[in-house]
């Protein structure tokens, strides 16, 4: 019931403040008058009565203050008052405010950007229901060298796992590949998945339209149905609802569209635009099938079952299978990996992520130290103000609260700026993600992460709080009297503050040096990569990809015919200088193949040497302008009926025929047949690079496409004019040869090289940005701090100059203390960064950089910049007129 009285009171206190104050004054005045009356009645003179009364009453103001306290809306009032005061203080020192806000903004903005980027790109939670319960079941390959514990699974193994295990509420298998989509649309190669009927159910994804696969639709002989992605639906079918029920040709066979899968379902290591049921052919289920590992198995843990339990169960089953089918399964184990971890490991981005995170933390630390320094420096000068307020009765809490609100204002401003920066830079970054189609898809996923925003906000607030509140604590410890005595005439800053500031300066410089060294290493490595010539002439080269799959090209002769027809068609075009076909482009990793060398003792197939294996058409070396050192190119006469021939590269020749000319010698290529013919070496070519960071060339051997036509070929065309302009003509040329053929991936050779860098350039850019940023913030910090401190000592300098000290003496005075700090900071940074080259080389493949220049140059830069930063204010201090300085307060 009391609130009836309380509410109006609160209301009045808040909004009718003046009125309430007036009433309070009146009330106390009445009391005073009564007191005076009493004194007069006691016999005192009027004046004395008044004084006595006043004395008896005690401090009027204090009583009023206490009454105000009782009103309990004080907190809000005070808060608003603090805010206004804080705002005024900040506006009055625009330099300080600007530096603090910008520092904070940059630190937060960069942080948020990178975190959001990393999160969206690399650490994204898989877009399935309840991702923590979705596992990848993998085989463990006893002899594999690339991720042996995440090997794909064979079909019979999968089926047995599914029937024998109890830990999962659902298990589904998927095989991902590219298929040619044609029929009512122009032919196109799309990534696709062959999946179990309950694939989407296991992952918890419901179709946007239409229906999911029925449970029996992945059995052999069932109707051919397909689910398409929303993306495909929009782009190729214009989101037409009648698409459902239409027939599409996939690799030449008819499939009916039954549904659309929402676009947010995207497992980026297994991209797919359409899904067809996975039906196992009899050959895949037999004992041979057990050796064919091609399935990715997804499973959802049953409620209450842990990953460890599931793993144990699966491992036991794998052991039993190994014993049961020793020929195929011996030594093979099984592994249960969380989908998230699987995706992260597959993308092999851990080292890059760690480095980026470290860089981010460094920048944040530097920004916070800056802020801390600024706050400490500034608040030192406000000691006097605080002392006075404390003497006037402000409690410690009150002072702290006022400082708090100032810091909050700063933090909020900084955070606002940071948010703006991150929005802009994320947009910029997104446009950079274009090195392949995966990256582009991912770019769509990158946006500001709310948790990151909260994190950065928390950090900024914490930083501001910690250092903004320091002076309040200072006051309470030493008491107001000490503060009152403190002013510019005496020596500046308490010792504790000084030590803290020194520590921060040293820290900032060390951190920015480390960052600078790290970034330089990256940038240098990347530049080095680019500088090594690729070994051929990549200009004016257009490439495209064609797939000779499906029923029509089952016969190798048909494929060879395509190659010949294609060459003929292209060479007839006037814009074409020369053309060739190949299975792998330069700057793509070729597959390896084993072989035996004539005249050298035979060895078991597993022990045989291997080399990179290229399949090329005639004219390949002419088109790419890879120098032919000896012998000849392949010609049209090297076809299926003629004697098998190979060409090798220099590295191969040097390794296997070190003292002789390899021309005319023979090697036997192992293709799993019992009797393989010996191929004659007819040519030797120069080495080319396979990837940007390659330091030592690997042996390569080339076989004619006409003798071994592959199912995918790439077309390379050297054009007379601009290669990109030729794309349409190329498409038409392919169409002329085979109108059902899909052609994709038009890229110039230069783009291929660029793309193969796979984001190294972004890494280098990012790191460079970080280093630059760090250096900038640190420099501004040192400068700002010093300028401020020097400003505080202006009077002291005035005295010195008046006493006869020359200007250079002043400069030297200022520099002496800080130079010491700078050297210490640079020294610490230098020592730590000595470890960096080795660390990077261990974490990143192909990272070879000579670091001597960087390790000497970077500290030099940091020291130089810092010295300049403290020289400027020192010089300015020395330029001041001594009289002005003396009067400066």
Partner 1 sequence: MSKPTDLVQGTLDLLILKTIALEPMHGWGIAQRIRQVSKEVLQVNQGALYPALHRLEQSGWIKAKWGESDHNRRAKYYALTAAGRKYLEQEESNWKRLSTAIGLVLETAE
CA–centroid distance for 592 within its chain: 32
* Residues of this chain, 671-730, that bind partner 1 according to CB under 8 A: none
Residue 400 and residue 406: Cα distance in Å, rounded? 10
How far apart are CB 515 and partner 1 at their closest, in Å?
A: 56
Tell which one of 72, 281, 568, 632 touches partner 1 (CB under 8 A): 72
Residue 516 and residue 351: Cα distance in Å, rounded? 18
- Give yes or no for residue 69 binding partner 1 (CB under 8 A): yes
- Give yes or no for residue 56 binding partner 1 (CB under 8 A): yes
How far apart are CB 59 and partner 1 at their closest, in Å?
A: 8
Residue 370 and residue 353: Cα distance in Å, rounded? 26
- Give yes or no for residue 51 binding partner 1 (CB under 8 A): no
Say if residues 700 and 653 touch (Cβ distance below 8 Å). Answer: no
Give the single-character DSSP code of 151: B
How far apart are CB 12 and partner 1 at their closest, in Å?
A: 11
Phi first, then psi, for residue 145 (nearest 5°) are -110, -20
E strand or H helix that includes residue 257: strand 253-261
* Residues of this chain, 480-509, that bind partner 1 according to CB under 8 A: none
Tell which one of 44, 63, 269, 344 touches partner 1 (CB under 8 A): 63
Nearer to partner 1, 2 or 495 (CB): 2
Say if residues 299 and 134 touch (Cβ distance below 8 Å). Answer: yes
481: left (phi over 0), alpha (psi -120 to 50) or beta: alpha
* Residues of this chain, 183-202, that bind partner 1 according to CB under 8 A: none
Residue closest to 708 by CA, chosen among 666, 673, 750, 760: 673
Nearer to partner 1, 59 or 331 (CB): 59
Nearer to partner 1, 30 or 589 (CB): 30
Say if residues 553 and 654 touch (Cβ distance below 8 Å). Answer: no
How many other C-beta atoms can be found within 10 angstroms of the C-beta atom of residue 748?
20
Residue window 836-865: x/- pattern of binding to partner 1, with contact defined by CB under 8 A? ------------------------------
Stretch that binds partner 1, among 29-37, 239-247, 676-684, 848-856 (CB under 8 A): 29-37
Tell which one of 71, 302, 382, 498 touches partner 1 (CB under 8 A): 71
Tell which one of 27, 130, 539, 555 touches partner 1 (CB under 8 A): 27
Residue 630 and residue 618: Cα distance in Å, rounded? 16
- Give yes or no for residue 350 binding partner 1 (CB under 8 A): no
How far apart are CB 400 and partner 1 at their closest, in Å?
A: 23
Tell which one of 43, 58, 282, 601 touches partner 1 (CB under 8 A): 58
User: Based on C-alpha coordinates, what's the Rg of the chain?
Assistant: 38
Which value, to the nearest 10 degrees, does the dihedral of the CA atoms of residues 369, 374, 376, 378 take?
Answer: 180
How far apart are CB 25 and partner 1 at their closest, in Å?
A: 11
CA angle 336–341–347, rounded 5-degree value = 120
Stretch that binds partner 1, among 54-62, 165-173, 679-687, 852-860 (CB under 8 A): 54-62
- Give yes or no for residue 66 binding partner 1 (CB under 8 A): yes
How many other C-beta atoms can be found within 10 angstroms of the C-beta atom of residue 288?
13
Pairing mode of beta strands 678-685, 666-669: antiparallel
Stretch that binds partner 1, among 55-63, 360-368, 548-556, 839-847 (CB under 8 A): 55-63
DSSP for 580-608 reads EEESS-TTSPPEEEEEEETTS----GGGS
Say if residues 730 and 743 touch (Cβ distance below 8 Å). Answer: yes
Tell which one of 11, 15, 30, 51 touches partner 1 (CB under 8 A): 30
Nearer to partner 1, 9 or 89 (CB): 9
How far apart are CB 493 and partner 1 at their closest, in Å?
A: 37
- Give yes or no for residue 427 binding partner 1 (CB under 8 A): no
Residue 826 and residue 834: Cα distance in Å, rounded? 12
- Give yes or no for residue 12 binding partner 1 (CB under 8 A): no
Say if residues 616 and 691 touch (Cβ distance below 8 Å). Answer: no
How far apart are CB 3 and partner 1 at their closest, in Å?
A: 7
Nearer to partner 1, 27 or 177 (CB): 27
How far apart are CB 484 and partner 1 at their closest, in Å?
A: 23
Tell which one of 26, 61, 130, 660 touches partner 1 (CB under 8 A): 26
Residue 157 and residue 277: Cα distance in Å, rounded? 18
Residue 422 and residue 427: Cα distance in Å, rounded? 8
Say if residues 604 and 593 touch (Cβ distance below 8 Å). Answer: no
Nearer to partner 1, 63 or 805 (CB): 63
Nearer to partner 1, 73 or 805 (CB): 73
Nearer to partner 1, 38 or 809 (CB): 38
Tell which one of 14, 21, 31, 252 touches partner 1 (CB under 8 A): 31
Nearer to partner 1, 33 or 288 (CB): 33
Pairing mode of beta strands 333-338, 576-582: unpaired
How many other C-beta atoms can be found within 10 angstroms of the C-beta atom of residue 469?
18
Nearer to partner 1, 40 or 799 (CB): 40
Nearer to partner 1, 69 or 881 (CB): 69
Residue 139 and residue 158: Cα distance in Å, rounded? 10
- Give yes or no for residue 40 binding partner 1 (CB under 8 A): no
Residue closest to 771 by CA, chosen among 110, 63, 10, 94: 110
Nearer to partner 1, 17 or 302 (CB): 17
- Give yes or no for residue 42 binding partner 1 (CB under 8 A): no
- Give yes or no for residue 41 binding partner 1 (CB under 8 A): no
Stretch that binds partner 1, among 24-32, 101-109, 163-171, 664-672 (CB under 8 A): 24-32
CB burial string 419-442: b at 16+ within 10 A, e below: bebbeebbeebbeebebeeebeeb
User: Which residues of this protein are in contact with partner 1, per CB under 8 A?
Assistant: 1-6, 9, 23, 26-28, 30-31, 33-35, 56-59, 62-63, 66-67, 69-72
């Amino acid at each position: 019931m009391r609130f009836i009285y309380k509410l109006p009171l609160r209301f009045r206190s808040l909004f009718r403040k003046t009125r309430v104050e007036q009433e309070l004054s009146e009330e106390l005045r009445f009391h005073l008058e009564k007191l005076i009356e009493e004194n007069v009645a006691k016999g005192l003179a009027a004046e004395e009565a008044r004084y006595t009364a006043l004395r008896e009453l005690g401090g009027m103001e204090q009583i009023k203050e206490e009454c105000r306290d009782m009103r309990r809306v004080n907190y809000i009032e005070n808060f608003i008052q603090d805010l206004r005061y804080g705002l005024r203080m900040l506006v009055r020192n625009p330099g300080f405010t600007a530096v603090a806000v910008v520092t904070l903004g940059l630190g937060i903005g960069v942080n948020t950007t990178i975190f959001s980027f990393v999160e969206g790109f690399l650490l994204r939670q898989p877009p399935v229901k309840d991702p923590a319960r979705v596992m990848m079941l993998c085989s463990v390959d006893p002899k594999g060298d690339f991720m042996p514990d995440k090997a794909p699974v064979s079909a019979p193994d999968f089926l047995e796992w599914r029937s024998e295990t109890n830990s999962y509420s659902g298990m589904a298998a998927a095989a991902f590949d590219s298929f040619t989509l044609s029929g009512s649309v122009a032919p196109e190669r799309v990534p696709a998945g062959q999946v179990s009927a309950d694939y989407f159910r296991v992952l918890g994804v419901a179709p946007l339209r239409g229906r999911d696969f029925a449970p029996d639709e992945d059995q052999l002989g069932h109707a051919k149905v397909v689910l398409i992605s929303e993306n495909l639906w929009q782009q190729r079918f214009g989101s037409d609802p009648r698409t459902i029920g239409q027939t599409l040709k996939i690799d030449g066979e008819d499939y009916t569209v039954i549904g659309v899968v929402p676009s947010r379902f995207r497992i980026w290591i297994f991209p797919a635009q359409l899904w067809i049921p996975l039906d196992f052919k009899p050959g895949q289920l037999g004992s041979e099938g057990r050796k064919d590992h091609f399935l990715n198995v997804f499973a959802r843990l049953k409620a209450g079952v842990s990953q460890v339990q599931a793993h144990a169960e699966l491992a036991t089953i794998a052991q039993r299978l190994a014993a049961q089918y020793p020929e195929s399964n011996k030594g093979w184990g099984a592994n249960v990996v969380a989908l998230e971890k699987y995706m992260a490991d597959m993308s092999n981005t851990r080292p890059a992520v760690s480095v980026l995170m470290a860089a981010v933390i460094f920048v944040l630390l530097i920004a916070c130290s800056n802020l801390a320094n600024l706050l400490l420096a500034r608040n030192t000068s406000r000691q006097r103000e605080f002392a006075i307020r404390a003497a006037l009765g402000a409690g410690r809490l009150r002072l702290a609260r006022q400082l708090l609100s100032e810091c909050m204002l700063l933090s909020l401003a900084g955070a606002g700026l940071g948010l703006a920066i991150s929005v802009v830079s994320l947009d910029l970054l997104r446009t950079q993600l274009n090195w392949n189609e995966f990256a582009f898809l991912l770019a769509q996923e990158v946006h500001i992460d709310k948790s990151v925003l909260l994190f950065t906000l928390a950090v900024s607030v914490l930083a501001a709080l910690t250092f903004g509140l320091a002076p309040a604590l200072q006051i309470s410890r030493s008491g107001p009297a000490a503060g009152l005595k403190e002013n510019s005439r005496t020596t500046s800053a308490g010792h504790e503050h000084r030590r803290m500031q020194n520590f921060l300066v040293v820290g900032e410089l060390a951190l920015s040096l480390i960052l600078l060294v790290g970034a330089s290493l990256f940038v240098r490595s990347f530049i080095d990569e680019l500088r090594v010539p690729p070994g051929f002439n990549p200009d004016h080269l257009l490439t495209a990809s064609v797939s000779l799959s499906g029923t029509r090209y089952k016969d190798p002769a048909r494929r060879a015919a395509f190659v010949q027809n294609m060459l003929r068609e292209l060479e007839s075009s006037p814009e074409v200088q020369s053309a060739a076909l190949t299975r792998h482009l330069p700057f793509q990793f070729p597959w390896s193949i084993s072989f035996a060398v004539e005249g050298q003792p035979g060895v078991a197939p597993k022990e045989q040497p291997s080399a990179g294996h290229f399949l090329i058409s005639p004219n390949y070396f002419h088109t790419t302008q890879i120098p032919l050192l000896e012998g000849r190119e392949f010609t049209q006469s090297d076809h299926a009926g003629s004697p098998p021939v190979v060409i090798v590269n220099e590295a191969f020749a040097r390794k296997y025929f070190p003292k002789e000319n390899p021309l005319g010698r023979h090697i036997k290529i192992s293709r799993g047949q019992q009797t393989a013919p010996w191929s004659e070496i007819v040519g030797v070519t120069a080495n080319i690079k396979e990837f940007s960071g390659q330091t030592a060339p690997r042996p390569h051997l080339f076989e004619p496409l006409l003798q071994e036509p592959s199912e995918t070929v790439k077309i390379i065309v050297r054009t007379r004019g601009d290669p990109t302009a030729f794309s349409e003509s190329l498409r038409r040329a392919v169409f002329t040869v085979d109108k059902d053929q899909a052609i994709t991936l038009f890229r110039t050779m230069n783009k291929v090289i660029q793309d193969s860098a796979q984001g190294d350039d972004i890494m280098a850019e990012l790191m460079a940005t970080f280093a630059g940023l760090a250096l900038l913030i640190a420099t501004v910090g040192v400068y700002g701090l010093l300028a401020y401190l020097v400003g505080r000592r202006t009077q002291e300098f005035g005295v010195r100059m008046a006493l006869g000290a020359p200007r250079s003496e002043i400069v030297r005075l200022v520099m002496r203390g800080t130079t010491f700090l700078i050297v210490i900071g640079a020294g610490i940074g230098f020592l730590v960064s000595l470890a960096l080259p080795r660390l990077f080389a261990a974490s990143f493949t192909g990272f070879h950089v000579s670091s001597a220049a960087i390790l000497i140059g970077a500290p030099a830069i940091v020291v130089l910049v810092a010295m300049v930063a403290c020289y400027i204010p020192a010089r300015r201090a020395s330029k001041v007129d001594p009289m002005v300085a003396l009067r400066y307060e």
